[in-house]
């Protein structure tokens, strides 16, 4: 669509929305705030157009987009002055601050409501991926947010290198992975098993693979034994040439595209760009997986997603906003959102609709959705988590530098991360 066409469509949409609002009772209009950009904003607003065309429950949704910090400031000001939207899509650390100010509705009563038009049935709960009801919970386990989709850390594999080293798939446990990587590094000069980027998501992904839980109701758990084991594992892999250090996950994807690395960590939403880069370079066959885990332990991977939150308002307004959230997470809508954005769908029933022909990008994305949906572990809803992530990245850099003992690094990180956990880091 050309820029002129988009402008005309936007103008027409504004005129239509104003006309609808003028004709509708204020009690039947839901104001929705979001700060999505580009493709995600287009897909969300297309879904809202679908809602307004059908007009479920006689409700009209009016979306208002702000920049992330403008929206955050408006939510903080609204929490004091009472000028809040009916529904908003916000980051988990921001949601934590709004909960502290008493500005959000606890969603447990709505999710568990016996009214079939409000609560999620047993069949719904079975269909929803676990991360949907795990995300958006505070330290006391109360539900304040529901993710629309989200992204998770995935593994992309060079199948040509797998076959060349007599492997049929990436090992699913860490011990087997270590042996396979040692063999690959010794036989294939200049070839590595994987890259280690000194960023927080690399830290979190490998920590989960080693069975570490970095956050609990007791606070940060960076000093736990599995975290130390994880750092020793990565350090040994780098020392022996099985792995190598790189600047970022984006850089690792570019290096993987050259065909000399067995697998790479990336966000599932970066799959399209990685596919194009590989097709322009080595053009090898691809497969997807999760990071191997400790033997006998279920595989898991970190995920991130903005949350639908409902500001504290009269009951009828809250229920109206919740009906909109339920509709957005129904199979058809979550399928369209996943197709348009590359983010995870909320439901297993969406997977069948997302299938593609073998050996296509769509088929590869579908395979990732199947693996990531059950394994995605959402970030905690605490205000200081972005600051904690900075500490995790710094700890990984320090450990890989070999200038400090890992126990000392983790002790420092535990203290600093716990101190920052409930700070307001949303403007960082």
| Amino acid 359: pLDDT | 86
Band of residue 9 on the pLDDT scale cut at 50, 70, 90: very low
| Amino acid 106: pLDDT | 98
Average pLDDT for 122-143? 95
Domains of the chain listed by start with CATH number? 24-150+307-367 (3.40.190.10), 151-303+382-420 (3.40.190.10)
Give the rounded percent of residues in the chain with a pLDDT score beyond 70: 93
Closest CA to 6 of 39, 48, 35: 39
Average pLDDT for 374-380? 96
Residue 10 has pLDDT above 50, yes or no: no
Mean pLDDT taken over the chain: 91
Residue 96 has pLDDT above 50, yes or no: yes
| Amino acid 64: pLDDT | 97
Give the 3-state secondary structure of residue 360.
coil
Residue 55 — left, alpha, or beta (φ > 0 → left; ψ -120 to 50 → alpha)? left
133 half-sphere exposure, CB direction, 13 A CA radius: 15
Between 4-8, 144-148, 304-308, 399-403, the lowest mean confidence (pLDDT) is in 4-8
Average pLDDT for 407-411? 96
Band of residue 13 on the pLDDT scale cut at 50, 70, 90: very low
| Amino acid 25: pLDDT | 56
DSSP 223: T
Residue 8 has pLDDT above 80, yes or no: no
**Cα separation, 389 vs 90, whole angstroms:** 19
Average pLDDT for 253-266? 95
Give the rounded percent of residues in the chain with a pLDDT score beyond 90: 80
Residue 121 has pLDDT above 50, yes or no: yes
Residue 131, both tokens: 């991360």
Helix axes of 92-100 and 68-81: crossing angle, nearest 10 degrees: 10
Beta carbons of 209 and 292 less than 8 angstroms apart: yes
Model pLDDT for residues 25-38, shown as the tens digit of each residue: 566 899 999 999 98
| Amino acid 19: pLDDT | 47
Average pLDDT for 279-284? 90
Band of residue 17 on the pLDDT scale cut at 50, 70, 90: very low
Beta carbons of 285 and 167 less than 8 angstroms apart: no
Q: DSSP letters of 25-65?
A: -GGGEEEEEE---HHHHHHHHHHHHHHHHH-GGG-EEEEEE
Residue 102 has pLDDT above 70, yes or no: yes
CA distances from 384 to 154, 268, 379, 427 (A): 25, 25, 11, 10
Model pLDDT for residues 313-369, shown as the tens digit of each residue: 999 999 999 999 999 999 999 999 999 999 999 999 999 999 988 889 999 999 999
Beta carbons of 252 and 197 less than 8 angstroms apart: yes
**Cα separation, 377 vs 276, whole angstroms:** 28
Model pLDDT for residues 168-209, shown as the tens digit of each residue: 999 989 999 999 998 888 777 788 999 999 999 999 999 999
205 half-sphere exposure, CB direction, 13 A CA radius: 26
Beta strand 376-378 pairing with 301-304: parallel
């Amino acid at each position: 669509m050309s820029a002129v066409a988009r402008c005309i469509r936007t103008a027409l949409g504004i005129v239509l929305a104003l006309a609808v609002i003028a004709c509708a009772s204020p009690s039947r209009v839901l104001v929705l705030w979001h700060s999505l950009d580009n493709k995600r904003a287009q897909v969300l607003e297309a879904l809202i157009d679908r809602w307004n065309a059908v007009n479920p429950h006689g409700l009209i949704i009016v979306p208002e987009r702000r920049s992330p910090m403008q929206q955050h400031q408006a939510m903080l000001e609204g929490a004091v002055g009472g000028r809040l939207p009916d529904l908003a899509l916000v980051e988990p650390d921001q949601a934590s601050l709004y909960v502290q100010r008493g500005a959000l509705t606890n969603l447990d009563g709505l999710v568990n409501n016996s009214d079939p038009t409000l609560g999620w049935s047993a069949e719904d709960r079975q269909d929803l991926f676990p991360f949907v009801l795990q995300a958006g919970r505070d330290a006391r386990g109360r539900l304040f947010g529901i993710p629309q989709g989200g992204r998770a850390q995935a593994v992309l594999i060079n199948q040509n290198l797998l076959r060349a080293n007599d492997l049929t798939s990436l090992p699913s446990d860490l011990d087997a992975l270590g042996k396979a990587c040692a063999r690959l590094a010794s036989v294939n000069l200049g070839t590595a098993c994987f890259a280690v980027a000194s960023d927080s998501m690399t830290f979190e992904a490998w920590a989960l693979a080693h069975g570490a839980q970095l956050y609990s109701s007791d606070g940060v758990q960076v000093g736990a034994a599995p975290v130390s084991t994880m750092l020793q594992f990565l350090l040994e892999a780098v020392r022996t040439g099985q792995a190598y250090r790189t600047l970022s996950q984006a850089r690792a994807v570019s290096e993987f595209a050259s065909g000399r690395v067995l697998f790479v960590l990336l966000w599932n939403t970066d799959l399209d760009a990685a596919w194009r880069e590989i097709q322009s370079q080595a053009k090898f066959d691809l497969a997807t997986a999760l990071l191997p885990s400790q033997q006998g332990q279920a595989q898991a991977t970190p995920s991130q997603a903005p949350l639908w939150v409902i500001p504290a308002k009269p009951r009828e307004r809250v229920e109206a906003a919740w009906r909109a959230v339920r509709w957005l997470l129904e199979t058809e809508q979550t399928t369209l959102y996943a197709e348009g954005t590359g983010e995870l769908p909320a439901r297993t029933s969406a997977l069948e609709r997302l299938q593609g022909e073998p050996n296509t990008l769509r088929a590869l994305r579908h395979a990732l959705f199947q693996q990531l949906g059950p394994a995605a572990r959402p970030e905690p809803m605490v205000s200081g988590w972005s600051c904690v992530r900075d500490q995790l990245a710094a700890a990984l850099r320090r450990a890989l530098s070999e200038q400090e003992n890992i126990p000392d690094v983790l002790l420092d990180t535990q203290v600093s991360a716990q101190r920052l956990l409930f700070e307001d880091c949303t403007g960082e």
